[in-house]
Structure 1
């Protein structure tokens, strides 16, 4: 009887251990699948905003908290703004600020970029963009980046009210930033 109980306990322990091994294997497989997926470009919602063919995704981050700040000139806000945002996600956290600049909070690597293409205007959101990186500083996650997409935008549009020259207005916004390295 005691021998039978021990056999059942051993069998249960072995089954539990097998479940742990299977679970760990599934996590490893899922991580590998994510790594493979990250190595292939994701389709852009707008083909004019796609990175060069063969580009590799370096990081994808989302605005955790961000604003676009506009300065009044000639009684109106805009058309340009200064970003201030904390981005989080795969590759984050990243600080996005004037320049426009993006700096990794993990390794201090930094890039600046300029607009290559913009999506169609929207009255409710800043435009989606494709940007080309024009400078690199430091060594780290952003070092290989050549292109940045700003996608899935909401908010951040300049106020339409009248204003006094020099007055500023910070408008909350949301977006996803995808960082790409050329092939």
Structure 2
């Protein structure tokens, strides 16, 4: 009887240990070559600027502080070209977009003029353009700007650079701009990722 009891006890211990381990194994599945527990949805893939044109890369000594997706519109106005009053062009007036997290939560807005990134906590920042790079036909260019000192305490404090990447749409209207419609405004839809950097 003693041996039977020992066997039963051993079996129960093995079974309970298995029941404790199985759920963890089902989540991690690291033995199958999948992501380890610590790298699953809780830790999304880190942003990398390695594939961007050098002109719009943030210099060394800075780190990503916040990633947002801007979704909204840009207003253009038909104006006479500078130093060429007889010719006209669509001129960028300003943006009006929501700043969202990767999961879609609205955490701020991007508006202008002047172009201003504002967080829901009230902090906001303007910036000076450093460089642009082509982003494909029909898309506004990639852009790198150097942030001015932020106003208000919050997420925008300490922001040093902002990148505009992954742009979709936003270019000037296709309709004609001339003397007949000078002063008229057109709104176009666009989307872009805005990556906020701070000194590391």
| Residue 118 of structure 1: how far off its partner (Å) | 1.0
Map 1:23-172; keep pairs closer than 5 Å: 27-28=37-38, 37=46, 42-43=49-50, 45-63=52-70, 65-74=71-80, 76-89=88-101, 93-98=107-112, 99-105=114-120, 107-120=121-134, 122-163=136-177, 164-172=181-189
How many Å separate the matches in 1 of 2:175 and 2:42? 51
Please identify, of 43-52 and 75-84, the stretch whose mean Cα deviation from structure 2 is larger: 75-84
The answer to whether the 8 A contact 1:68-1:170 is kept is yes
Tell me by how many angstroms 1:33 deviates.
6.4
Deviations 1:11-49 (A, max 9, x none): 4543356558969xx5545589669x56xx632511011
| Displacement after TM superposition at 1:87 (Å) | 1.8
The answer for unaligned runs of 5 or more in structure 1 is none
Report if the CA contact (8 A) 2:147-2:162 is conserved: yes
Confirm or deny: 8 A CA contact 1:44 1:50 kept in the other structure.
no
* Distance 1:174-1:54 versus aligned 2 partners, 3 A rule: same
Distance in 2 (CA, whole Å) between partners of 1:22 and 1:28 is 8
In structure 1, the residue matched to 2:20 is 14
Aligned residues of 1:118 and 1:128 also touching (Cα < 8 A): yes
Contact persistence 2:149–2:158 (CA under 8 A): no
TM-score, normalisation: structure 2: 0.71
Match of 2:33 in 1: none
Change (3 A) 1:17 1:127: closer
Q: What TM-score, normalized to structure 1?
A: 0.77
Quick one: structure 1 residues 31 and 145, their matched pair in 2 at CA, closer, same or farther if it must change by over 3 Å? farther
Return closer, same or farther for 1:85/1:13 CA change in 2, 3 Å cut-off: same
Distance in 1, matches of 2:160 and 2:167, equals 21
